[in-house]
Copies of this chain bind each other. A is one copy, B any other.
Amino acid sequence: MTDRRMLVVGAHSADFVWRAAGAIAKHTLAGGEARVISLSYGERGESGELWKVPDQTVENVKRHRHDEASKAAAAVGASFDSLDLGDYPLEVDNDAVNELAEIMRDFKPHVVLTHCDKDPFNPDHPVAYTAVAKARLLTAGAVVEAGFRTAPPSEFLVFEPHQPELCGFVPSVFVDITGVFEQKKKAMSAMAAQSYLQQYYAERAEHRGNHARKVTGNKEIRQAEAFMRVVPNVVGAL
């Protein structure tokens, strides 16, 4: 696992926390490197609490969201950056896709995580998927040698959305996050304004832990996160 690199791309700055903080922590615990990129700060659609503060400004909201996300990323051993493209709606033009592609070419991730491609409850999540999928393909080249700078192909998975069945999300793999659950809770607690989501996703991790126990019979597993693979992975043996 040492030297593996993970890239996590969220539409808004808090997305990675609820959906993948445990998998990030396990990755970095194993000696891997993890980068979180958010395409926007979620400053319009997911920062209502902050806007209740008198004389609030968009710069301040973004700064606040940046600090929270940086703290959460640090709690699981990852770096955090935002492309600050705006939200509700998030728009990712060709330049931004190219910026993502350049990040991929430089970072050469072994695994890429993002939102799934459908979400009837969020206008920005599918936009993020489309941008990440496109950037990833632009860096990977075709089956023949490409005439531009590429990165090795990466494993590509989507993390669990808020209402999975309605987003076409079917788990392909559970990551056992039992050993890093305290880190995930710490990352979640950095999102001070959304305490009810902290409870929701802590319970959700317990439920996925139940599912992972059921699948394996391994009673040591207490918490897990679910992911869906977009492309198959390759293994040496089953």
**B-binding residues in A (CB < 8 A):** 1, 6, 23, 26-27, 29-30, 32, 42-52, 61, 88-89, 91, 94, 97, 111, 113, 120-123, 133-134, 137-138, 140-148, 152-153, 155-157, 162-166, 169-176, 193-194, 197, 200, 203-204, 206-207, 210-212, 214-218, 221, 224, 226-227, 229-238
Contact = CB atoms under 8 A, between A and B. Distances in A.
Contacts of A221: 234
Q: Which 7 A-B pairs have the closest CB atoms?
A: A48-B145, A152-B217, A123-B137, A51-B147, A26-B237, A203-B203, A153-B217
A210 B232 CA distance: 13
Contact of A173 (B111, B133, B233): B233
Contact of A238 (B94, B155, B232): B155
By DSSP majority rule, is chain A's interface helix, strand, loop, or mixed?
mixed
Given A6-B238, A44-B146, A166-B170, A137 B152 contact: no
Contact of A175 (B29, B141, B230, B237): B237
Contacts of A165: 164-165, 169-171
A61 B221 CA distance: 30
Given A232-B171, A232-B174, A148 B88 contact: yes
